[in-house]
Amino acid sequence: MFSLFKENLPRFVFAKRIAMVVVLVMFAAPSSDAGILTYDQDVSPDVIVGTNVANGGFTVDRSNGIEVGLRAKVRFNANNQAENTFNSNGDGSYTFEAGQPAGTGFSFAPNSSSTAVWSFDWSINSNFGGVTDKKLDQYRYELAIDFNPATAITPANVLTFDPINGPDPSNGQNWFDHAFGDNTTTEATRTVGNAGNYAGLITTKNVAQNSWNMEFFDVPTSTTYFFDANVPGTFDISLSVFELGGLSPLPLASTQITVHSTLSSASATVPEPASMLTFAGLGLCALGVRRKRRRSQADVR
Protein backbone atom coordinates (compact mmCIF):
# COMPACT_ATOMS: atom_id res chain seq x y z
CA MET A 1 0.00 0.00 0.00
CA PHE A 2 1.25 3.45 -0.89
CA SER A 3 2.18 5.37 2.23
CA LEU A 4 3.61 8.75 3.08
CA PHE A 5 5.30 7.53 6.22
CA LYS A 6 9.05 7.74 6.65
CA GLU A 7 9.68 4.01 6.47
CA ASN A 8 8.50 3.98 2.85
CA LEU A 9 10.93 6.66 1.73
CA PRO A 10 13.75 5.65 -0.66
CA ARG A 11 16.84 3.88 0.67
CA PHE A 12 18.97 6.80 -0.25
CA VAL A 13 18.49 10.55 -0.03
CA PHE A 14 19.41 12.68 -3.01
CA ALA A 15 22.78 14.37 -2.83
CA LYS A 16 22.08 17.97 -3.79
CA ARG A 17 24.95 20.22 -4.57
CA ILE A 18 26.24 22.14 -1.57
CA ALA A 19 23.71 20.21 0.51
CA MET A 20 24.20 18.55 3.85
CA VAL A 21 26.28 15.36 3.90
CA VAL A 22 24.08 12.28 4.06
CA VAL A 23 25.64 8.88 4.70
CA LEU A 24 23.44 6.20 3.12
CA VAL A 25 23.77 3.16 0.85
CA MET A 26 23.09 5.26 -2.21
CA PHE A 27 24.77 3.39 -5.02
CA ALA A 28 25.82 0.23 -3.22
CA ALA A 29 24.84 -3.02 -4.90
CA PRO A 30 25.79 -6.70 -5.02
CA SER A 31 27.86 -6.08 -8.16
CA SER A 32 30.87 -3.79 -7.90
CA ASP A 33 29.70 -2.18 -11.14
CA ALA A 34 26.23 -1.24 -9.86
CA GLY A 35 25.62 2.46 -9.58
CA ILE A 36 28.42 3.49 -11.94
CA LEU A 37 26.65 6.05 -14.10
CA THR A 38 27.37 6.91 -17.72
CA TYR A 39 26.06 10.09 -19.29
CA ASP A 40 24.41 11.14 -22.54
CA GLN A 41 23.66 7.54 -23.42
CA ASP A 42 21.13 5.74 -25.59
CA VAL A 43 18.78 3.29 -23.89
CA SER A 44 17.93 -0.11 -25.30
CA PRO A 45 16.34 -1.25 -27.48
CA ASP A 46 15.42 2.38 -28.37
CA VAL A 47 13.04 5.05 -27.14
CA ILE A 48 9.65 3.43 -27.73
CA VAL A 49 7.48 5.87 -25.79
CA GLY A 50 5.79 8.80 -27.54
CA THR A 51 5.99 9.70 -31.22
CA ASN A 52 9.24 10.55 -33.03
CA VAL A 53 11.10 10.81 -29.74
CA ALA A 54 14.87 10.61 -30.22
CA ASN A 55 17.20 8.42 -28.20
CA GLY A 56 20.18 9.86 -26.33
CA GLY A 57 20.85 12.15 -23.41
CA PHE A 58 20.11 9.51 -20.77
CA THR A 59 21.98 9.06 -17.50
CA VAL A 60 22.31 5.28 -17.37
CA ASP A 61 23.33 2.46 -15.05
CA ARG A 62 23.86 -0.99 -16.56
CA SER A 63 24.43 -3.52 -13.80
CA ASN A 64 23.49 -7.14 -13.09
CA GLY A 65 21.88 -7.55 -16.50
CA ILE A 66 19.62 -4.53 -15.90
CA GLU A 67 19.61 -1.14 -17.61
CA VAL A 68 17.93 1.92 -16.06
CA GLY A 69 17.99 5.37 -17.62
CA LEU A 70 16.70 8.85 -16.80
CA ARG A 71 16.84 12.15 -18.65
CA ALA A 72 15.03 15.49 -18.76
CA LYS A 73 13.83 17.20 -21.93
CA VAL A 74 11.86 20.17 -23.24
CA ARG A 75 8.19 19.28 -23.05
CA PHE A 76 6.78 22.68 -23.99
CA ASN A 77 8.62 25.07 -26.26
CA ALA A 78 7.40 28.51 -27.39
CA ASN A 79 4.83 26.79 -29.60
CA ASN A 80 3.59 24.53 -26.78
CA GLN A 81 5.25 21.56 -28.50
CA ALA A 82 7.80 19.06 -27.25
CA GLU A 83 11.35 18.89 -28.56
CA ASN A 84 14.21 16.43 -28.66
CA THR A 85 16.14 18.99 -26.60
CA PHE A 86 17.70 17.59 -23.44
CA ASN A 87 19.94 20.41 -22.16
CA SER A 88 22.30 17.87 -20.63
CA ASN A 89 25.32 19.20 -18.79
CA GLY A 90 27.18 15.92 -19.34
CA ASP A 91 27.26 15.00 -15.66
CA GLY A 92 23.76 13.71 -14.92
CA SER A 93 22.30 17.18 -14.57
CA TYR A 94 19.99 19.07 -16.92
CA THR A 95 19.17 22.79 -17.01
CA PHE A 96 15.94 24.51 -18.04
CA GLU A 97 14.42 27.94 -17.56
CA ALA A 98 11.86 28.19 -14.75
CA GLY A 99 8.34 29.18 -15.65
CA GLN A 100 5.09 27.88 -17.05
CA PRO A 101 4.75 26.93 -20.71
CA ALA A 102 4.37 29.88 -23.08
CA GLY A 103 1.25 28.18 -24.41
CA THR A 104 -1.47 26.52 -22.37
CA GLY A 105 0.50 23.41 -21.41
CA PHE A 106 -1.48 20.20 -21.00
CA SER A 107 -5.06 20.19 -22.23
CA PHE A 108 -6.23 18.49 -19.04
CA ALA A 109 -4.66 21.26 -16.90
CA PRO A 110 -4.47 24.40 -19.07
CA ASN A 111 -2.34 27.29 -17.77
CA SER A 112 -1.48 25.35 -14.62
CA SER A 113 1.32 26.84 -12.51
CA SER A 114 2.47 23.31 -11.67
CA THR A 115 3.21 22.36 -15.29
CA ALA A 116 6.96 22.46 -15.92
CA VAL A 117 8.34 23.28 -19.35
CA TRP A 118 10.43 20.13 -18.89
CA SER A 119 9.48 16.51 -18.39
CA PHE A 120 11.59 13.51 -17.41
CA ASP A 121 11.85 10.29 -19.38
CA TRP A 122 12.69 6.97 -17.77
CA SER A 123 13.51 3.54 -19.14
CA ILE A 124 13.84 0.09 -17.56
CA ASN A 125 15.24 -2.99 -19.30
CA SER A 126 15.23 -5.99 -16.96
CA ASN A 127 17.02 -8.18 -19.52
CA PHE A 128 19.68 -5.88 -20.88
CA GLY A 129 21.75 -7.64 -23.52
CA GLY A 130 19.59 -10.74 -23.20
CA VAL A 131 21.66 -12.11 -20.31
CA THR A 132 19.07 -12.54 -17.55
CA ASP A 133 15.79 -13.51 -19.26
CA LYS A 134 14.07 -11.67 -16.39
CA LYS A 135 10.69 -10.06 -16.96
CA LEU A 136 9.64 -6.79 -15.36
CA ASP A 137 7.54 -8.41 -12.62
CA GLN A 138 10.58 -10.29 -11.29
CA TYR A 139 12.02 -7.17 -9.63
CA ARG A 140 10.90 -4.40 -7.31
CA TYR A 141 11.39 -0.76 -8.28
CA GLU A 142 11.62 2.64 -6.62
CA LEU A 143 11.13 5.92 -8.45
CA ALA A 144 11.84 8.91 -6.22
CA ILE A 145 10.85 12.47 -7.15
CA ASP A 146 12.12 15.45 -5.16
CA PHE A 147 9.62 18.30 -4.82
CA ASN A 148 11.75 20.65 -2.72
CA PRO A 149 13.35 23.40 -4.86
CA ALA A 150 15.83 24.29 -2.13
CA THR A 151 19.24 22.69 -1.70
CA ALA A 152 18.43 21.44 1.78
CA ILE A 153 17.60 17.74 2.07
CA THR A 154 13.96 17.22 3.04
CA PRO A 155 13.02 13.53 2.78
CA ALA A 156 9.39 14.40 3.52
CA ASN A 157 9.23 16.13 0.13
CA VAL A 158 10.43 13.07 -1.79
CA LEU A 159 7.62 11.08 -3.40
CA THR A 160 8.58 7.41 -3.76
CA PHE A 161 6.64 4.64 -5.45
CA ASP A 162 7.03 1.51 -7.58
CA PRO A 163 6.41 2.53 -11.22
CA ILE A 164 5.95 -1.08 -12.34
CA ASN A 165 4.14 -2.93 -9.57
CA GLY A 166 2.20 0.15 -8.44
CA PRO A 167 0.01 1.60 -7.29
CA ASP A 168 0.05 4.79 -9.34
CA PRO A 169 0.18 7.61 -6.76
CA SER A 170 -1.61 9.99 -9.12
CA ASN A 171 -4.82 7.95 -9.16
CA GLY A 172 -4.44 4.84 -6.98
CA GLN A 173 -4.72 2.44 -9.92
CA ASN A 174 -2.60 -0.71 -10.13
CA TRP A 175 -1.65 -0.11 -13.76
CA PHE A 176 0.19 2.53 -15.79
CA ASP A 177 0.09 3.54 -19.45
CA HIS A 178 3.75 2.70 -20.03
CA ALA A 179 5.16 1.72 -23.40
CA PHE A 180 6.16 -1.95 -23.17
CA GLY A 181 8.38 -4.15 -25.29
CA ASP A 182 11.36 -6.47 -25.46
CA ASN A 183 14.86 -6.19 -26.89
CA THR A 184 13.52 -6.10 -30.46
CA THR A 185 10.69 -3.59 -29.96
CA THR A 186 10.44 -0.33 -31.88
CA GLU A 187 8.14 2.64 -31.44
CA ALA A 188 5.87 1.10 -34.08
CA THR A 189 5.64 -2.29 -32.34
CA ARG A 190 5.35 -1.23 -28.71
CA THR A 191 2.34 -2.10 -26.57
CA VAL A 192 0.77 0.57 -24.35
CA GLY A 193 -0.43 -0.57 -20.95
CA ASN A 194 -4.08 -0.33 -19.93
CA ALA A 195 -6.34 -1.76 -17.25
CA GLY A 196 -6.98 -4.93 -19.22
CA ASN A 197 -3.50 -5.88 -20.42
CA TYR A 198 -1.18 -4.51 -17.75
CA ALA A 199 -0.85 -7.60 -15.56
CA GLY A 200 0.07 -9.70 -18.57
CA LEU A 201 2.56 -7.18 -19.94
CA ILE A 202 4.75 -7.01 -16.86
CA THR A 203 5.00 -10.81 -16.82
CA THR A 204 5.96 -11.13 -20.49
CA LYS A 205 7.94 -7.95 -21.30
CA ASN A 206 11.33 -6.74 -20.11
CA VAL A 207 11.23 -3.11 -21.30
CA ALA A 208 9.05 -0.33 -19.90
CA GLN A 209 9.30 3.41 -20.58
CA ASN A 210 7.34 6.55 -19.86
CA SER A 211 7.64 10.34 -19.87
CA TRP A 212 6.26 12.26 -16.91
CA ASN A 213 5.85 15.87 -15.83
CA MET A 214 5.85 17.22 -12.29
CA GLU A 215 2.27 18.26 -13.05
CA PHE A 216 1.18 14.62 -12.88
CA PHE A 217 2.12 14.23 -9.21
CA ASP A 218 1.80 17.74 -7.78
CA VAL A 219 -0.76 18.25 -5.00
CA PRO A 220 -1.75 21.94 -4.88
CA THR A 221 -3.30 21.62 -1.42
CA SER A 222 -0.21 19.93 0.03
CA THR A 223 3.02 21.37 1.38
CA THR A 224 4.66 17.97 0.89
CA TYR A 225 4.35 17.38 -2.86
CA PHE A 226 3.73 20.91 -4.09
CA PHE A 227 5.38 22.11 -7.29
CA ASP A 228 5.40 25.65 -8.71
CA ALA A 229 7.00 25.84 -12.14
CA ASN A 230 7.69 29.55 -11.64
CA VAL A 231 9.97 28.95 -8.65
CA PRO A 232 13.60 28.21 -9.61
CA GLY A 233 15.31 25.36 -7.85
CA THR A 234 17.04 22.02 -8.02
CA PHE A 235 15.04 18.81 -8.33
CA ASP A 236 16.43 15.28 -8.08
CA ILE A 237 14.90 12.15 -9.57
CA SER A 238 16.14 8.60 -9.11
CA LEU A 239 15.20 5.14 -10.34
CA SER A 240 16.37 1.95 -8.61
CA VAL A 241 15.83 -1.78 -9.08
CA PHE A 242 15.82 -4.26 -6.20
CA GLU A 243 15.50 -7.98 -5.74
CA LEU A 244 11.90 -9.04 -5.40
CA GLY A 245 10.87 -10.02 -1.88
CA GLY A 246 13.40 -7.87 -0.06
CA LEU A 247 16.23 -10.42 -0.16
CA SER A 248 18.74 -7.57 -0.29
CA PRO A 249 18.30 -3.94 0.77
CA LEU A 250 20.84 -2.86 -1.84
CA PRO A 251 19.86 -1.88 -5.39
CA LEU A 252 20.84 -4.09 -8.29
CA ALA A 253 20.88 -1.02 -10.55
CA SER A 254 20.25 2.65 -9.82
CA THR A 255 20.37 5.94 -11.70
CA GLN A 256 19.78 9.54 -10.70
CA ILE A 257 19.48 12.93 -12.40
CA THR A 258 19.37 16.52 -11.18
CA VAL A 259 17.22 19.12 -12.92
CA HIS A 260 18.24 22.75 -12.47
CA SER A 261 15.34 25.14 -13.01
CA THR A 262 16.90 28.57 -13.45
CA LEU A 263 15.73 32.17 -13.71
CA SER A 264 17.38 32.76 -17.06
CA SER A 265 17.68 30.64 -20.16
CA ALA A 266 21.17 32.08 -20.54
CA SER A 267 22.33 29.63 -17.87
CA ALA A 268 20.90 26.66 -19.73
CA THR A 269 23.09 24.47 -21.88
CA VAL A 270 22.69 25.25 -25.57
CA PRO A 271 21.81 21.95 -27.28
CA GLU A 272 23.56 20.69 -30.38
CA PRO A 273 21.68 21.45 -33.61
CA ALA A 274 20.77 17.77 -34.06
CA SER A 275 18.92 17.82 -30.74
CA MET A 276 16.85 20.87 -31.64
CA LEU A 277 14.41 19.02 -33.86
CA THR A 278 10.83 19.80 -32.89
CA PHE A 279 8.42 16.93 -33.21
CA ALA A 280 4.64 16.90 -33.22
CA GLY A 281 2.45 14.66 -31.37
CA LEU A 282 4.68 13.71 -28.08
CA GLY A 283 -4.39 12.48 -8.76
CA LEU A 284 -1.76 11.80 -6.25
CA CYS A 285 -3.13 10.25 -3.06
CA ALA A 286 -1.84 12.23 -0.09
CA LEU A 287 -3.45 11.65 3.27
CA GLY A 288 -6.72 10.86 1.58
CA VAL A 289 -6.54 13.72 -0.95
CA ARG A 290 -6.60 12.38 -4.50
CA ARG A 291 -6.09 14.39 -7.64
CA LYS A 292 -8.70 14.37 -10.38
CA ARG A 293 -6.43 15.07 -13.32
CA ARG A 294 -6.14 12.78 -16.29
CA ARG A 295 -3.19 12.03 -18.47
CA SER A 296 -2.56 9.53 -21.22
CA GLN A 297 -0.01 8.53 -23.84
CA ALA A 298 -1.30 11.52 -25.82
CA ASP A 299 0.54 13.66 -23.26
CA VAL A 300 3.82 11.85 -23.95
CA ARG A 301 5.68 13.42 -26.86
Q: What is the pLDDT of residue 59?
A: 99
CB-count exposure of residue 63 (10 Å: 0-12, 13-18, 19+): buried
Task: Tell me the pLDDT band of 69, cut-offs 50, 70 and 90.
Answer: very high
CB-count exposure of residue 273 (10 Å: 0-12, 13-18, 19+): exposed
How do the domains of the chain map onto residue ranges?
6-299
Q: What angle do CA 223, 229, 230 make, to 5 degrees?
A: 105
- pLDDT tens for 204-256 read 999 999 999 999 999 887 888 999 999 999 999 999 999 998 667 899 999 99
Higher pLDDT, 198 or 298: 198
Task: Tell me the pLDDT band of 301, cut-offs 50, 70 and 90.
Answer: low
- pLDDT tens for 70-116 read 999 999 999 999 999 999 999 999 999 999 999 999 999 999 999 99
Give the mean pLDDT of the chain.
Answer: 81
**Residue 124 and residue 164: Cα distance in Å, rounded?**
10
Q: What is the pLDDT of residue 221?
A: 79
**Residue 295 and residue 119: Cα distance in Å, rounded?**
13
Q: What is the pLDDT of residue 26?
A: 37
